[in-house]
Amino acid sequence: MRKMFAKRHYEAIAAAMKAERPGKHWDAAKRLQWDQDVKALCRVFERDNEAFRWSQFLEACGGLFDV
How far is Cα 8 from Cα 62, in angstroms, rounded to an integer? 17
Residue ranges, the chain, pLDDT below 70: 1, 67
Tell me the pLDDT of the chain averaged across its residues: 93
DSSP code of residue 51: T
DSSP code of residue 62: T
Q: Is the pTM of this model over 0.85?
A: yes
How far is Cα 23 from Cα 12, in angstroms, rounded to an integer? 20
